Amino acid sequence: MGATRPRGREWTMADHDDVQHEVLNMRQFEDATGGDVELMQELAGLYLADADAQMPGLEEAVVQRDMERVSRVAHGLKGSSASIGADRVANVFKIIEAMGRDGTEDGLDDAVAAARDAYVVVRERLTRMAA
């Protein structure tokens, strides 16, 4: 499992590549929604609208090194991502949240880049679902 941030060294993309979580864990999504397809589509739309609005705030907080805000925004994105089964991006947000909480700046930019990449992938999947 590559779910935890390595201690004592910088975050690298290799750590992200180690993450074994699914882009979209459909079992979790179905468990949360009772398999209601219309609800899943509605939630996909809600998630994308919210995450699209939150991502610039996260990137801005990272640039400003506002670690409290980094942690708070990443926490919110982690929760909503996990709720719909977007496990991979949720896991990266979890790591960013911990870095924000611990004040760890080393590797933060790479972690956010990894989150951006993971979000692009899940965004594509969910956009198709919501359509």
Partner 1 sequence: MKILIADDDPVSRRLLEDSLADLDHDVTVVCDGREAWSHLMEQRYDVVVSDWMMPEIDGVELCRRLRARTGDPFCYVMLITSRDTTDDVVEGITAGANDFMTKPWKREEFRARLCAAERVVQLERTLASRVAELQKALEEVATLKEILPICMYCKNIRDDEQAWQKIDDYIQKEGLASFTHAICPDCYEGQVQPMLKEMHDRNRKAS
Instruction: Give, in order, the Cα–Cα distances in Å from 128 to each of 15, 48, 122.
Output: 28, 11, 10
Q: Which is nearer to partner 1, 33 or 104 (CB)?
A: 33
Interaction site with partner 1 (CB under 8 A): 28, 31-34, 36, 39, 42-43, 46-47, 49-50, 72, 75-76, 78-80, 82-85, 94
Give the Cα separation of 58 and 55 in Å (integer): 5
Q: Which is nearer to partner 1, 11 or 93 (CB)?
A: 93
By residue count, the chain amounts to: 131
Q: What is the smallest separation between the CB atom of 68 and partner 1, expressed in angstroms?
A: 12
Q: Which is nearer to partner 1, 16 or 21 (CB)?
A: 21
Q: What is the smallest separation between the CB atom of 75 and partner 1, expressed in angstroms?
A: 6
Q: What is the smallest separation between the CB atom of 111 and partner 1, expressed in angstroms?
A: 17
Q: At residue 102, what are phi and psi to the nearest 5 degrees?
A: -85, -10
Q: Using an 8 Å Cβ cutoff, are 11 and 107 in contact?
A: yes
Q: Which is nearer to partner 1, 12 or 28 (CB)?
A: 28
Q: Using an 8 Å Cβ cutoff, are 4 and 111 in contact?
A: no
Q: Using an 8 Å Cβ cutoff, are 129 and 41 in contact?
A: yes
Q: What is the smallest separation between the CB atom of 35 and partner 1, expressed in angstroms?
A: 9
